[in-house]
């Protein structure tokens, strides 16, 4: 199925008719989600969908629960109410084996990369393959080398330990590990945080290239305005415990909300927009 960017369309429905069969365009649907920590309510009545093949940027002020939402979808944080459907399946209705099968279709890049410090890059990337597939270790390592090459790391990096790497190399290695099982959905939590502008821009371009080539969907938590303008098809804004708006960046930036206006039309927002226009 050829990739089509969704930046200029509205979601008229969640299904398309392809060669006589209906294929859902919604890979994740969140309905009336509630997340709490004790008496603190982080999300309440939150609704959001992630579409097939899109890069969805998730933004919001500190404490709005962007990372909590990501962790809820991938199963690291049990939800308190509502439903999450992934690939047409209601997660709460799945048994452990079924849920594990769904979660193997996810790839996750955590903040700071979260590589295992006692393993070299080859071992870090091969680990999901060893744990979740019938591949032998040599076979897993061969695929791991391919994944490291896919994200632009030199062959010699495979034997290096995480402590010896730059921030940009750590993020690329963590991306290679997230791609190890050929995921249908890639979850990225602040992937360009801590990177210099050049490394961040290269990471953004790499993500866009891989998405276009491999066709996965991306759930991207970020504060980086350059990333939003460079790669995101839609943007979802978390505020007041809900998704305030989820739309194209142009429509989101036009939303009459104080936080949105400050975020997208402040000095950094104007600079990111100008850079995007210049590079088109």
For residue range 78-118, list pLDDT tens digits in order. 999 999 999 999 999 999 999 989 989 999 998 877 888 99
Fold adopted by 60-78+184-280: Rossmann fold (3.40.50)
As a whole number, the mean pLDDT across the chain is: 86
Write down the pLDDT at residue 195: 86
Write down the pLDDT at residue 7: 34
Write down the pLDDT at residue 255: 94
User: How confident is residue 279, by pLDDT bands cut at 50, 70 and 90?
Assistant: low
Write down the pLDDT at residue 270: 62
Proportion of the chain in helix, strand, coil states, percent, rounded to 5: 40, 25, 30
Provide the whole-model pTM.
0.85
Question: In the chain, what are the domain boundaries?
Answer: 60-78+184-280, 117-183
């Amino acid at each position: 199925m050829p990739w089509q960017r969704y930046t200029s369309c509205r979601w008229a429905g969640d299904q398309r008719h392809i060669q006589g069969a209906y294929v859902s365009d919604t890979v994740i649907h969140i309905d009336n989600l509630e997340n709490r920590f004790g008496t603190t309510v982080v999300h309440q009545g939150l609704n959001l969908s992630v579409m097939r093949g899109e890069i969805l940027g998730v933004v919001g002020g500190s404490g709005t629960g962007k990372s909590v939402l990501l962790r809820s979808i991938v199963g690291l944080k049990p939800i308190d109410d509502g439903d999450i459907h992934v690939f047409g399946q209601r997660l709460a209705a799945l048994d452990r084996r079924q849920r594990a099968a769904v979660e193997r279709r996810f790839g996750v890049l955590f903040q700071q990369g979260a590589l295992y410090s006692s393993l070299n890059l080859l071992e870090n990337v091969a680990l999901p393959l060893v744990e979740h597939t019938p591949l032998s270790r040599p076979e897993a390592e061969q695929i791991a080398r391919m994944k490291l090459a896919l994200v632009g790391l030199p062959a010699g990096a495979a034997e290096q330990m995480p402590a010896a790497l730059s921030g940009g190399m750590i993020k690329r290695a963590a991306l290679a590990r997230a791609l190890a099982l050929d995921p249908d959905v890639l979850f990225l939590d602040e992937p360009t945080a801590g990177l210099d502008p050049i490394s961040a821009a290269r990471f953004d371009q790499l993500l866009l290239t891989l998405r276009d080539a491999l066709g996965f969907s991306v759930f991207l938590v970020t504060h980086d305005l350059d990333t939003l303008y460079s790669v995101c098809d839609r943007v979802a804004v978390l505020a007041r415990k809900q998704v305030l708006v989820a739309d194209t960046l142009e429509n989101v930036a036009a939303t009459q909300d104080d936080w949105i206006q400050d975020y997208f039309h402040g000095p950094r927002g104007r600079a990111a927009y100008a850079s995007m226009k210049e590079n088109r």
